Copies of this chain bind each other. A is one copy, B any other.
Amino acid sequence: MTLSVQDIWNDVAAVRKTAPLVHSITNLVVMSYNANALLALGAAPVMAHAREEVEEMVAIAGALVLNIGTLQPEWVEAMKLAAKKAASLNKPIILDPVGAGATSYRNRTITELLVMAKPAVIRGNASEIMSVSGLDSATKGVESLQSSEAAIDAAKTLARKIDGTVCVSGATDIITDKNGKTAFLQNGHPWMTKITGTGCSATAMIGAFTAVQSDYWRATVSAMAYLGVVGEFATEEVQKKNQGVGSLQIKILDALQLMPEKEFRKRLKMSLNGD
């Protein structure tokens, strides 16, 4: 197995060049930030959640992102309709099981979505991935109390179950597929967890990359690698100026748009299993 920094940069360039349309049915907290993150990256976001139109919208999109952060019944119905349509059109579905394990409604919804269509990629923190995989986990609302490494077996089990890719994000981001092919990314910065929606933006960005890169494991690695480097770089920049997490939110958008290839290459810390 090989995946080079050049491969990843090529995926970033492909997103910028083709500006794929990403249809998100996502939560109310991060909707605006996610749309701005996709635009800064070079993709084209569309948010639509009415049962009356999600099937038509997903039909013109390159990927479907489902995020359960602020559920309500009509939205769950819309997610199911959109997922079914996406599956029938062979479009990648990316699932973000926000707060999995925190309430039985979230758990039930995830189960229903997984029955409706297999996602190409599931991305969550360690608690969420352990919960979706069927293991016990400790969730504090929507935050994980576990390191990503604690969820690696759960991620592999879940990847086999969905016949797809699972990403556990944390200090180390772990991306694994059904065959156990695994990438470890060690960029990023703890301050990124002090902004709402960075995890959700990661999921939205995975959507953009799967729309241009049909190897969904690779697309996920590319998205997480790019966001990790961008977030790390942006944090260093704001800290130099004695700024805080408000400024970081803005600097991440700037860097998603303007990160130079050289800076990205210099910073990327990736290892693959077998390396």
Residues of A whose CB lies within 8 Å of any CB of B are 21, 23, 27-33, 35-36, 39-40, 44-50, 52-53, 56-57, 60-61, 69-74, 99, 102-106, 140-143, 194-197, 242-247, 249-258
Contact = CB atoms under 8 A, between A and B. Distances in A.
26 contacts: A28-B28, A29-B32, A29-B35, A29-B47, A36-B196, A36-B249, A40-B194, A44-B141, A46-B102, A48-B70, A48-B71, A49-B70, A52-B72, A52-B73, A52-B103, A53-B71, A56-B102, A57-B141, A61-B141, A72-B74, A244-B256, A244-B258, A246-B249, A246-B251, A246-B256, A246-B257
Contacts of A72: 49-50, 52, 74
- A36, A106, A246: which has the most chain B beta carbons within 10 Å? A246
Contacts of A142: 44, 46
Contact of A141 (B21, B32, B74, B257): B21
Number of copies of this chain that the complex holds: 3
A27 B105 CA distance: 22
A217 to B, nearest CB: 26
Contacts of A247: 250, 253-254
A17 B137 CA distance: 23
A240 to B, nearest CB: 13
Nearest to A257: B244
A60 B29 contact: no
A46 to B, nearest CB: 4
A13 B107 CA distance: 35
Given A49-B72, A53-B103, A141-B57, A39 B257 contact: no
A57 to B, nearest CB: 6
A175 to B, nearest CB: 25
B249 A245 contact: no
Contact of A196 (B35, B102, B252): B35
Contacts of A49: 70, 72
A23 to B, nearest CB: 8
B71 A47 contact: no
Given A57-B102, A246-B252, 10 more contacts: A21-B140, A29-B35, A35-B196, A36-B196, A48-B99, A56-B103, A60-B141, A72-B74, A244-B253, A245-B257
